[in-house]
Amino acid sequence: MDATRKIIGICLIVLFGLPTLFGITWAVGIIRAATSPEFVSDLPQKIIADLPDAADEFFRAAQDEGAITDPETRAWFRAAAAAGVSPRDVLETSGLMNWARGELTETLKQIGMVLRGERRPAPITLDFRPLKTALLSPEVDRFLVSTLEHLPPCDERGSRAWAEVSAGTVCLDSLPACRPDAPGAKDAILAAKTNAVSRMDDQAEIFEGARGVPRLPFGFSRSIMFVSVFLFFIPAVLIFVGALIADSTPRGFLLWSGGSILAGGIPTLGIALAAKHFALWAIRDGAVSWSWNTHRMTDLELVLFDKLRMIPEAVLQQLLSPVIAASVIVCVFGVVLLALSSGARGKAKPAPAPVSPVAAGPTAPPAPPVPPAPAA
């Protein structure tokens, strides 16, 4: 009977309790990360602050023959470097960074206030009109025109390509890396930029439809975290029921419960740590051949990824750290239950049966005397 109960308890724990515990731990960690003010508000503000330096480093690296093997791509970036204006200066003088530090940063701060519970949830509008004005500024146009003027002279093939660009008969995705001499080519480039900017939305609304939502007492982020913690009751019930079936004594119940929770928490913690360190190692050392479907990253994309890798690194840190923290808490809870089991009462051992004294039997008669041996 005891063996049957243990088999049923093990099946319930292994087949249902531990997989559910693994999934809930990851879910709670990701929910905590995705709704935290640090991830939604503070992290983007740090990225905005680092953007000018990253842009300058990207343009410098793109001119290196060891990084960019395509000569036409290098020609474009060398022409941009010869324009006399650095990417940082373009970002500053055009108003792009003013919009990022002003409108965008203020919107992110308001989102953080909602998540922290410092203000009532309500629609927040992000205005793109200053961004569109900055992209259409004379500083951006002068930078583009100066870059075109510092390209090397065109051969016959390049001249034909620019003539097609000025006529509007080709797409602007792959422009020739030579100085356009066709009339109207520069105007066609500027017109294409203006057309692309005009298609942008004037504003975007965050928390759309949030009017009338009451202000949560502990903040949106903490309230979501508080609710998500209750998801742990699902694997807890499965594990506790399985432990109770396997051994109903207090010591056995705690021993089975603590061991099962620890057995579910250790792999979760190990996988989260391994995923975090492997991903960071792959990003920093370029150990992974990055590709999406059939598209393999070009040299330019690899350089861009390398100079902006602080973004995926920071995102990974924010996403996986809560999963690791939740896994540690699960492991600690399992260890606590195991420690409590050592002092709990186990199954009572049956008392040994009393030993009855052996009654003395009748005394045997004495042995007859041995006759003496005859004399020789």
pLDDT tens readout for residues 201-227: 888 888 776 555 555 555 566 677 777
163: pLDDT strictly greater than 50? yes
| Most confident by average pLDDT, 116-120, 187-191, 324-328 | 324-328
pLDDT at 280 (0 to 100): 73
Query: For the chain, how many helices (H) and strands (E)?
Result: 17, 4
pLDDT at 238 (0 to 100): 92
| Sequence letter at residue 66 | G
For the residues of 89-116, what is the DSSP string, one character each?
HHHHHHTHHHHIIIIIHHHHHHHHHHHH
**203-206 and 124-127 as β-strands: parallel, antiparallel, unpaired?**
antiparallel
Q: pLDDT-derived band of residue 327, with 50, 70 and 90 as boundaries?
A: very high
pLDDT tens readout for residues 47-94: 888 888 888 888 888 777 777 777 888 888 888 888 888 888 888 888
Tell me the percentage of the chain whose pLDDT exceeds 70.
Answer: 80
* Residues 6+ away with beta carbon under 8 Å from 323: 25, 26, 29, 30, 33, 268, 272
Q: Name which residue leads in pLDDT, 160 or 305.
A: 160
User: Rounded to 5 degrees, what angle do the CA atoms 121, 124, 129 make?
Assistant: 180
pLDDT at 298 (0 to 100): 67
pLDDT tens readout for residues 124-147: 888 999 989 999 999 998 888 888
The answer to whether residues 260 and 247 touch, using CB atoms and an 8 Å cutoff, is no
* Residues 6+ away with beta carbon under 8 Å from 58: 87, 303, 304, 307, 308
Q: Name which residue leads in pLDDT, 268 or 164.
A: 268
10: pLDDT strictly greater than 80? yes
Cα–Cα distance between 68 and 54 in angstroms, integer? 17
pLDDT at 179 (0 to 100): 86
Q: Which two tokens stand for residue 372?
A: 């003496």
Question: Considering the chain, what is the average pLDDT of its residues?
Answer: 79
293: pLDDT strictly greater than 70? no
- The pTM score is 0.62
Summarize the confidence of residues 36-55 as an average pLDDT: 78
pLDDT at 21 (0 to 100): 92
The answer to whether residues 52 and 92 touch, using CB atoms and an 8 Å cutoff, is yes
pLDDT at 38 (0 to 100): 72
pLDDT at 213 (0 to 100): 56
With CA atoms as reference, report the closest residue to 272 among 306, 316, 222, 217. 316
With CA atoms as reference, report the closest residue to 308 among 2, 18, 19, 50. 50
**Inter-CA distances, 15 with 18, 24, 239, Å:** 7, 15, 10
pLDDT at 229 (0 to 100): 79
Summarize the confidence of residues 308-337 as an average pLDDT: 86
pLDDT at 217 (0 to 100): 57
Q: pLDDT-derived band of residue 266, with 50, 70 and 90 as boundaries?
A: very high
